[in-house]
Structure 1
Amino acid sequence: MNTSDLIYDWNNILPPGMKHPGPVLLNDESLRDGLQSPSVRDPSVPEKIEILHLMEALGIDFLDLGLPGAGPRAVEAVTALAREIVAHKMKIRANCAARTHENDIRPIAEIVQKTGLRIEAATFIGSSPIRRFTEGWTDDFLLHTTEKAIKYAVSLGLDVMYVTEDTSRCDPETVKRLYSTAINCGARAICICDTAGHATPMGALALVRFVIEEVVKPSGEKIRVDWHGHSDRGLSIANSIAAIIAGANCVHGCAIGLGERVGNTQIDQMLVNLKLMGIPPWDQQDLTRLKAYCQAVSRATGVPIPKNYPVVGDDAFRTATGVHAAAIIKAYHKNDVVLANTVYSGVPSHVFGLDQIIDVGPMSGKSNILFWLERHDIRATDDIVDRIYQRAKQSDHTLTDAEIMEGVDAGVKPR
């Protein structure tokens, strides 16, 4: 029997009028917005290039190369990444962050000239009433700054994504005026931002629908709508899914949720969910290098991956619980890897190039021990099993391989 026939999937039962989104794009901010975390190390250029190649292998659509207006170090890294994309004829498309100021936009055009790579300028400005009040900005100032920056970028031959910071706390009229001005001046992508991590899924849904209905459709232009979220309320993945259901074309994120405060949307978890939801093109994308990508970002930035982190954490597909392990083992003994990887997991490990791990600990049964011995090609005897079992029950932790081996008779050798 097909394993999918054994699962009743409530996720496919949608409310009236709601449908699964069409093709979804992903924009990786790991090497720009992700590096705004106060705890990260800025990776070296070779490390960034390694990460770039892993993004390409995963099929990620866009990469934020950095903010070259920040200074020479940023220009060096952005230029190196741009040249790498050109040299290897990569499919991934590039953008660079820029404040709505000529001094930030000009370096992007200069890098385009030097490398020959087409780079989109992601020009950003604050939008919410609370930000405007704090900065002393008037509506006219925002509109004038927006118009001047986008027209300047377009005059340099750059594609433009117009980014409004803190959109999720901005009033509807300002949202309409800013995005409409940007589109009229030549921006062909707009980015709706939940900069402070304020949004809930219903808020994200409402905001994206508002922008599409009140700005994008009336413009008559073909506009890409992006969603950029943060995890302050722990809702970034849910918000991003709500945004694409509402009609957003592209979601921004960072590997392992890097970013300021508690971080950005976890792009690796977006990949997992888009794959499992059957959303194109991710339903057909090979994601077996997802863990390698996350590990590379972790090493390069000095940010550890929590053991219980979804999919790529050490414990994601690991169990020492007797009842759970017993079910997985029974599935393995049916010679059905898919069944084994699905019976106690909502994420099939093999889809991401990973395996279920059965450990032995204080909550284990003897089936855990028998399976462990079988996997290590060690003949199980009653004495060996009992010795390991008693040690596990007296332990306050999952046994290490070395501790299990201490329970194996010294004279027993692998077959």
Structure 2
Amino acid sequence: MSAQASDMSGWLLLGLPGAVYLSGLKQVWVIIGLIIGTYINWKIVAPRLRMQTEEHEALTIPTFISKKSNDTKGYVKTFSAIVILFFFTIYSASGLVSNGKLFESLLGIDYKLGVLVGGGTIIFYTFLGGYLAGVWTDFFQGILMFFAIIIVPVTAYFVVGGSSAIDVAMTQKHISLNLLKYPEALSIPVIISGLGWGLGYFGQPHIIVKFMSIKSVNELWKARLIAMVWVIISLVCSIAIGITGIALFKNVQDPEKIFIYMIGKLFNPWIAGILYAAILSAIMSTISAQLLVASNTLTEDFYKYIVKREKTNKELIWVGRICIIIIFIIATLLSMNPNSEVLSLVSYAWAGFGAVFSPVILFILYKKEMNWKNILISMVVATITVIFWNQSGLGKKIYEIVPGFLVNMFCLYILEKFIKSKK
């Protein structure tokens, strides 16, 4: 539950319903990709990652990759840390955008002030607790998110008058649940791009780090079952929010606020307050998990390696806190545009982690030895590919995770085939 709450950020309650509200089921391939990716992640990554990180005494993903590839110079570890900090900053910005939109809608305050208020709250409670506290808060926030995302579309369905009323509203907006009416939704690039989201799961540090802390490998089958039930129901209900929202509201200025508008219209203030808290929970659970992983990465994989002298626990704690503050400041600057889209920011960060880390994680989990130089080259090439693909606009044709992932896999395969592993 904690892992999936960290996974499904504000985009589950804001970004995805907004996309469905605008265009119907064109996002269905993303949903299918995420469901498949979740299952494969728990099935083939979680068990080996849990055992091998314990065997190598690795507390972070960069440390694990570095030790498994015999990176005695720390180059892989350092580059991994830089990538994590870069894309987590973008990911955190998506959460702050969600915060701004939530507080702007509820309190009528300026969007930018909403970003600062929400972000400040997250920073405060992240400082108060550590990793274990974060896991427990993610757990309870995940439960709240789960019930909220079920209650709202079910209530909306009966309030609007059932499927017939929804069909009429969708027809008036020229939206259909029949994908055959949208040839572009059945095109190869759209299908590949949507399913490509599933490739990202194996490389999301804030998700797979939860595998490392599970009590026993024998407990994984239970966790996998809970995760799959949570993900499938949550994603289906997220689509249902967008569809029922079409019948409730003919037009909205910002489609990503459709869930917020629906809560305000369907429920009394007391219940609405609880449901609004679910949106805040979705945002907070993901950002706090990301900030903790980023903080741990900086202290364990960067600061400890660069600063050779003996360091106290208090010093490391403050270094981690400073890292959190720096990420927050940069993410805040990135999220100050009220027109920013949660889904676009999330997709960019997701692609970055998926393209850079997913192939590497799969290789090192199923290969006894790897050359750290090969890994470093592949990661650098994948990073450049993702950034270029996104900034050049090619991501509108094929989601950047696909070329980034394939380039990384190709480089790893070719380099490992011709350059033998060296200790």
Query: Given the two structures, how large is their TM-score scaled by the length of structure 1?
Result: 0.24
Query: Given the two structures, how large is their TM-score scaled by the length of structure 2?
Result: 0.24
Greater CA radius of gyration, 1 or 2? 1
Task: Pick 1 or 2: higher relative contact order, CA cutoff 8 A, min separation 6.
Answer: 2
More helix by share: 2
More strand by share: 1
